[in-house]
């Protein structure tokens, strides 16, 4: 599930903010967190991850909240296949007790995309981590990437400011060195094209779209690197408004 950070629409007094902050720091509870946007394919998240592997959960350990950290779960897995990272027999991953937690079940096999954070490998529910039985498409992409036959692509979404706005037919331009690559959005605002590996950025000169400053992006539209077999996922917001 992808959640968008809200834009402040009203003035909040200084004192309630301080009180809320003090309460939050003193009494941790289930953490609120947001996923990067937009959705990302397995051959995008592969290059963002520190470890990508398939394994079965053999042990679970719950950690409580502390004065300085939210609680969560440590999972120890018997590793059966590694797509990215060091070759090991076992790995331990952690998921925080937040809105984007990714809980695992003992005895069940998973495909996991893990990240080094705070001295540990962490997983969440934002990307392509899934039960092994439901990871057919991600596994197909990872195996094609391993064989060197996965296409190199750029795709993305031009979102509407509000519901009901037509986001089809928007010309999207991405610059790569001295070359320009263009695509036209479909009825849902999605675009896609093949591109060679290299450095790219989203071109905003048409003034047809802009960045939502509250978003966290998988790929920064202002500049990103595309590796062989990678699929970069971009997002911007359409300037179109509802007809009066």
Calpha distance 3→174 (Å, rounded): 26
Mean residue pLDDT across the chain: 89
pLDDT tops 90 at residue 160: yes
Distances, alpha carbon 165 to alpha carbons 19, 186, 240, in Å: 39, 13, 7
- φ/ψ of 212, rounded to 5, equals -85, 115
3-state secondary structure of 44: helix
Closest of 32, 64, 36 to residue 49, by C-alpha = 36
Q: What are the residue ranges spanned by the domains of the chain?
A: 42-147, 153-238
For the domain bounded by 42-147, which CATH number is listed? 2.40.50.120
pLDDT tops 70 at residue 193: yes
**Domain 153-238, CATH among 2.60.120.200, 2.60.40.1120, 3.40.710.10, 2.60.120.1090:** 2.60.40.1120
3-state secondary structure of 135: coil
Around 215, how many Cα atoms within 13 Å sit in the side-chain half-sphere? 19
pLDDT tops 80 at residue 15: no
pLDDT tens readout for residues 79-114:
999 999 999 999 999 999 999 999 999 999 999 999
pLDDT tens readout for residues 22-68:
434 333 444 558 999 999 999 999 999 999 999 999 999 999 998 87
3-state secondary structure of 133: helix
């Amino acid at each position: 599930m992808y959640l968008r950070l809200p834009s402040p629409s009203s003035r909040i007094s200084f004192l309630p903010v301080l009180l809320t902050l003090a309460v939050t720091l003193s009494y941790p509870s289930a953490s609120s967190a947001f996923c990067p946007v937009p959705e990302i394919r397995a051959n995008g998240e592969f290059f963002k991850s520190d470890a990508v592997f398939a394994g079965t959960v053999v042990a679970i350990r719950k950690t409580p909240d502390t004065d300085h950290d939210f609680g969560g779960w440590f999972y120890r897995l018997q590793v059966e296949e590694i797509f990215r990272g060091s070759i090991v027999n076992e790995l331990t991953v952690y998921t925080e007790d937040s809105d984007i937690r990714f809980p695992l079940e003992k005895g069940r096999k998973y495909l996991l995309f893990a990240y080094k954070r705070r001295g540990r490998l962490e997983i969440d529910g934002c990307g392509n981590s899934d039960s092994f039985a439901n990871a057919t498409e991600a596994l197909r992409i990872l195996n094609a990437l391993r064989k060197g036959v996965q296409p190199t692509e750029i795709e993305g979404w031009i979102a509407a400011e509000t519901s009901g706005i037509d986001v089809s037919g928007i010309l999207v331009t991405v610059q790569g060195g001295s070359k320009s690559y263009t695509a036209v959005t479909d009825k849902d605002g999605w675009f896609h094209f093949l591109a060679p590996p290299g450095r790219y950025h989203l071109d905003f000169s048409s003034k047809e779209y802009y960045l939502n400053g509250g978003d966290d992006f998988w790929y920064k539209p202002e500049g990103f690197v595309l590796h062989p077999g990678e699929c970069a996922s971009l997002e911007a917001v359409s300037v179109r408004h509802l007809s009066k």
